């Protein structure tokens, strides 16, 4: 669901889960504070999964850059107790749909070192890109400062790191209907689907 003020009680746990997960995987991840996570919830820019018994299950948030021309889907985390059941993809799909609703013309991007996140992004229509295709907003790159790989990014002048950049450009996913055959939809690349 879209997170709101009632979910702020999970902010500390979300931050702790992100930190533990990064340590376990040995990968870089930008650290966030409970206050930052709470702000996302209050702004309606976060998705949270909570079990029926009230336990925190998963989370992701939205950040906008470059005058809302770019949207980042970030901070995807699933609590250890809820891994392996497809919850990450459900959260990823929900944050993607929410981003498209709030910012329909924005390019959505993700940077990750995780193969699972890359696979989910591919399934949603993202494609790998160089960092030059991502936002040039300096505030975005400041968010990487908490990552253990920040020195690599900085030494390469924000052009490359250990992360892979993935981009969903809505202009590349335009569907066109044929009034003579409403059951068919022509995709931009010429394929048809029913």
What is the maximum alpha-carbon separation in the chain? 57
Q: Taking the domain 5-193, which CATH number applies?
A: 3.40.630.30
Over residues 40-75, the pLDDT tens digits come to 999 999 999 999 999 999 999 999 988 889 999 888
Confidence class for position 192, pLDDT limits 50, 70, 90? very low
Across the range 76-101, mean pLDDT stands at 94
Domains of the chain, residue spans: 5-193
**CA 186, 187, 188: angle at the middle one, nearest 5?**
120
Are 137 and 143 in contact by the 8 Å Cβ rule? The answer is no
pLDDT number for residue 66: 82
Over residues 130-181, the pLDDT tens digits come to 888 888 888 887 777 777 788 888 898 878 888 888 999 998 886 655 566 6
Write the burial class of residue 59 (CB in 10 Å: 0-12 exposed, 13-18 middle, 19+ buried).
buried
């Amino acid at each position: 669901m879209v997170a709101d003020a009632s979910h702020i009680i999970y902010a500390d746990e979300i931050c702790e889960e992100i930190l533990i997960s990064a340590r376990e995987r040995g990968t870089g991840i930008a650290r966030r504070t409970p206050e930052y996570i709470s702000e996302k919830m209050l702004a309606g820019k976060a998705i949270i999964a909570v079990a029926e018994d009230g336990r925190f299950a998963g989370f992701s948030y939205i950040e906008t850059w470059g005058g809302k021309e770019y949207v980042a889907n970030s901070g995807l985390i699933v609590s250890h107790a809820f891994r392996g059941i497809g919850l990450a993809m459900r959260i990823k799909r929900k944050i993607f749909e929410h981003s498209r609703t709030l910012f329909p013309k924005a390019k959505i991007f993700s940077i990750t070192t995780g193969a699972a996140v890359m696979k989910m992004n591919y399934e949603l229509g993202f494609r790998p890109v160089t960092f030059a295709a991502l936002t040039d907003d300096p505030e975005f790159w400041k968010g990487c400062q908490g990552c253990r790989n920040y020195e690599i990014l900085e030494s390469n002048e924000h052009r490359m790191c250990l992360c892979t950049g993935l981009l969903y450009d809505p202009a590349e996913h335009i569907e066109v209907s044929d009034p003579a055959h409403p059951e068919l939809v022509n995709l931009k690349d010429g394929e048809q689907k029913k």
